[in-house]
Structure 1
Amino acid sequence: MQTITKKVWGYRHVILIILWLLYIINYFDRLAVLTFLPFIQQDLNLTPVQVGQLASIFFFAYSIAQVTAGFLADKIGPKKVMNIAIIVFTAVTALTGLVKSFGQFIALRIGLGLGEGHHFAPACRTINNWFPMAERGRSVSFFTTSWAVAPAIVPVLITSISYYFFAGEWRPIFYLLAIPGLLGMFILWYFVSDTPKEMLDKGRLTKAEYEHITTSDTTEEDEEGVPSNQKKNASVFLRDPSFYLYTLLLFCQLAVYWGTTTWLTTFLVQQHGLNIKDMGLFASAPYLVAIFAMLIGGWLMDKVLHRMKPVGIIAYLGSIPVLWMLGSVEKGQTGMLLTLLLLVGFFVNLNFGSVYAYIQKRYPKEIVGRATGLANGIGQLGSFISPLVAGYLVKVGTDGTQEFGDVFIFFAVCSMIAAICALLLKEQKSLPTSVLLTKEKNSAKA
């Protein structure tokens, strides 16, 4: 068993890299709309409120889809669900190039949200099937870097293609994005299976790696003095005030992240007058920093601070002034604009790698799934509400110019609320009330 544990590389890592690539393809389709939103707005003669509605309706459908995705992944297998998801969001993205009206766009945004929303849960389920317990944290962390890598490369890549090959037109890009979708369907079909047993039978997985994956990790100790039936009781987190603080914190963090991601390109074009080429470069800048910020945040939590709370406080307190100032940068101050974009990318993403570990560290493992699902479900509403509210806060001048100062003040206020939540959070292991009372009685007797 010693030689198996020391094995660094195996077919499970091929699976992980493919899942990572597939999720970047997912983000290509999602971010293409947001990147070209200012030009789509101009061509379709949309108001800022309509733009906010288009952005928000996607996350409404996306939130609903995440619930059904987990159920379907358990029922018919994660590979089938991912395949359906890729087919749907690839088809919808190609059709986006044909959109002619606000109503058509709304329908396509709902379709895209339903398609992409059925991708994340089965991908996580696949990782769970393919990696032993001791490796799941690192494997999931690697998978989530796709959230930062994709926004770092997509805007600059697709705007450059549009600028150099299609004279700045946005519609051909959506037809072109069918190609990575088709490629994703092929590599999913050929390289990925729901379980290691399927690949073992095909001869692509060694017996040693199969045993390494399927051998249960029994070294983890249970919470002392907690009966198993109580560890499975959802009241452990439902009666915990910190759970609701955490949920509000996650709501605000996702509101800031997807609010800024949704409106960034429109802000750069409308308030700063950037052309399609320069806009792509500036829009990618925050996410280049975000990749390192996520890794630094995780390192601070694991190696230095050993808690999520101080990482969150640093992230949210840092976000407040840079978001506030970003909305007030005057046109032509490109140096200041780029500096603030980089700082926003750092602080907004610093706590992303560590925030999802909070529930795993606070609650018994038997209820982590339910606690995470409920918190994420509510938290995703921040992604839905934020772009919509921002659309109403955009100031439109008599000459058609748009100002985003109030929009970024709104994002800064969301960061302030998140900072307060982080300050009040408790991080020690949460136990059932009955167990706490028993321990208090035993301490008193002693």
Structure 2
Amino acid sequence: METFDRKKLYNKLIRFIIPLPFLLYFFNGLDRTNIGYAALTMNKELGISSVDFGIVTSVFFITYLIFQVPTNMLLERIGARKVIPTIVIGWGLATLLTFFAQNLTQLIVFRVLLGMFESGFFVGIIYWLTLWFPRSERGRVTAIFTLSLSVANIIGPPVAGYIIQYINFGGISGWRWLFIIEGILPMILGVIAWFVMRDNPDQAKWLSVEEKNVIRADLEEEKANNLANKEPVSWKKTVTNATLWKLAAIYGIINVAVQAASIWMPTLIKDIAAFLSPSLIGFVMVLPMIISVICMYWVGKHSDKIGERKWHIALPMFVLAFSFLLICLPVNSLALKMLALMLFGASVMSYYGPFWALPSELLSVEGVAISIAVINCCNAIGSICGNMLTGILMGRFGSTGVFVFFSIIAAVAGLIVLTLDLKKHSPEFSKQLSPNGLSPEQ
């Protein structure tokens, strides 16, 4: 196994493993953010104010928060092969039902259901990937997987804008057709996932016995290294770990801005450029999201290559903060606004790969699933607060107040990242990636 071509093996693993979760996360992104484009016409039709819309976007994250940890405990108990396809079919159904919403209350109910079903998907996939890939591959793998969200942000806006503006079959509003189209497709993929997903490499028929042995050996060696450097920890010790809560705080705070911005951006752009139609707003967002895909992949790959995480997470957050300030500058310059949006695209997802490689590097192997769920729960809390506050700020201060708020939040998250002591927590990772055996930060 010492002479086995591991690069070739893990590239093969990526080709076989990543396409399905990539597609699923693509539709996850569409189903979560399509409400922002629907709002361009839906809010007026249903009589929804900016504060009401803040509630609509927030309730999704309440059930997302409540059901996240239980769902991932279930995933550990019965496996991804059964849990993840069920989740996907459920969220597709919840999206489809939004087609029938007639008032604010019904819309809230459907968003609650969507949050319940989506709650375990992302952290479930992240945990599932730890059962297939060793630490040295996870930054790259996570970046490739999460690229699908950027791809959704490229394809989704112009498609959503077009559907809302031009698809009105049977006199039914375009925003309703948006939900039914984007609900049916993930339900189909969920059924497919039932038949093609496997819980771990041992169940993969497309891997040879030797390949399975190499993967198993790599994962067992990683676990042994963790056990040798860290005492076994209980569930209680896992959730009282200071590093876990620092990571959770970072992710929760940055998502106050990121999650709210991803949902509210169409409305915010409409506020500063009222002449734009829904379809044009969708096309305006294409270029920033193309840049997002490129930067996200490059940052994740570069982070793995040099064995550095801290600045690969913090710097995109600082650039994001700057982009929000540029967007809201009272300057009537289309070029400046587009530059700001391109900086937004370059930074809004770039920290994902390096960040989501940290839990398995800094925390106990036995508690990694729970740790990931706790971190993503703080994402939900941040998203609830972000959407509620955005609705209030939009009503009182307009889009300028919202963008200034987003900028402050992103900068604070970046500053907290700089307080992480990665040399203390992850010596074995540094030795693995640094050719001279020194920590990348030394």
- 2:374 aligned with 1:374: yes
- Percent identity for Structure 1 against Structure 2: 22
What letter is aligned with 1:59? F
Partner residue, 1:337? 337
Partner residue, 1:180? 185
Are the aligned partners of 1:393 and 1:406 in contact in 2 as well (CA < 8 Å)? yes
What letter is aligned with 2:102? K
Partner residue, 1:268? 269
Q: Which shifted more, 138-147 or 88-97?
A: 138-147
CA distance in 2, matches of 1:223, 1:130: 17
Closer, same or farther: CA 7–358 of 1 in aligned 2, 3 Å:
closer
Deviation at 1:172, TM superposition (A): 1.5
CA distance in 2, matches of 1:359, 1:9: 23
Higher Rg:
1
Deviation at 1:336, TM superposition (A): 2.5
Deviation at 1:71, TM superposition (A): 1.6
Are the aligned partners of 1:315 and 1:347 in contact in 2 as well (CA < 8 Å)? yes
- 2:431 aligned with 1:429: no
- 2:390 aligned with 1:390: yes
Are the aligned partners of 1:10 and 1:209 in contact in 2 as well (CA < 8 Å)? no
Q: Which has the higher contact order (CA 8 A, sep 6+)?
A: 2
What letter is aligned with 1:429? K
Are the aligned partners of 1:134 and 1:217 in contact in 2 as well (CA < 8 Å)? no
Are the aligned partners of 1:236 and 1:430 in contact in 2 as well (CA < 8 Å)? no
**TM-score of the superposed pair, with normalisation by structure 1:** 0.83
**TM-score of the superposed pair, with normalisation by structure 2:** 0.84
Closer, same or farther: CA 314–382 of 1 in aligned 2, 3 Å:
same
Closer, same or farther: CA 144–47 of 1 in aligned 2, 3 Å:
same
- 2:197 aligned with 1:192: yes
- CA deviations over 1:357-396 (Å, ceiling 9, x no partner): 3343334544444443333322331111101101000146
Closer, same or farther: CA 117–369 of 1 in aligned 2, 3 Å:
closer
Partner residue, 1:228? 231
CA distance in 2, matches of 1:411, 1:210: 46
- CA deviations over 1:138-184 (Å, ceiling 9, x no partner): 43332222222212211112323444443872212222224412430
What is the CA RMSD across the aligned residues, in angstroms?
A: 3.0
Are the aligned partners of 2:72 and 2:124 in contact in 1 as well (CA < 8 Å)? yes
What letter is aligned with 1:238? T
Deviation at 1:235, TM superposition (A): 4.6
Closer, same or farther: CA 217–391 of 1 in aligned 2, 3 Å:
closer
What letter is aligned with 1:180? L
Deviation at 1:78, TM superposition (A): 1.7
Q: Which has the higher helix share?
A: 2
CA distance in 2, matches of 1:75, 1:366: 13
Alignment of 1:26-425 (within 5 A): 26-131=28-133, 135-166=137-168, 169-200=174-205, 205-220=207-222, 222=225, 226=229, 228-229=231-232, 235=237, 238=240, 240=242, 243-273=244-274, 274-304=276-306, 306-329=307-330, 333-395=333-395, 403-425=398-420
What letter is aligned with 1:386? G
Q: Secondary structure at the match of 2:198?
A: coil
CA distance in 2, matches of 1:18, 1:262: 25
Are the aligned partners of 1:133 and 1:216 in contact in 2 as well (CA < 8 Å)? no
> Please, which runs of 5 or more residues in structure 2 have no aligned partner?
427-442
CA distance in 2, matches of 1:43, 1:114: 26
Kindly tell me the number of residue pairs found equivalent between the two proteins: 419
Closer, same or farther: CA 109–13 of 1 in aligned 2, 3 Å:
same
- CA deviations over 1:200-225 (Å, ceiling 9, x no partner): 3xxx5544444444445454473697
Q: Secondary structure at the match of 1:193?
A: coil
CA distance in 2, matches of 1:133, 1:243: 18
Deviation at 1:260, TM superposition (A): 0.7
Deviation at 1:115, TM superposition (A): 1.3
CA distance in 1, matches of 2:202, 2:317: 44
What letter is aligned with 1:428? K
Partner residue, 2:433? none
Are the aligned partners of 1:255 and 1:414 in contact in 2 as well (CA < 8 Å)? yes
Closer, same or farther: CA 176–222 of 1 in aligned 2, 3 Å:
closer
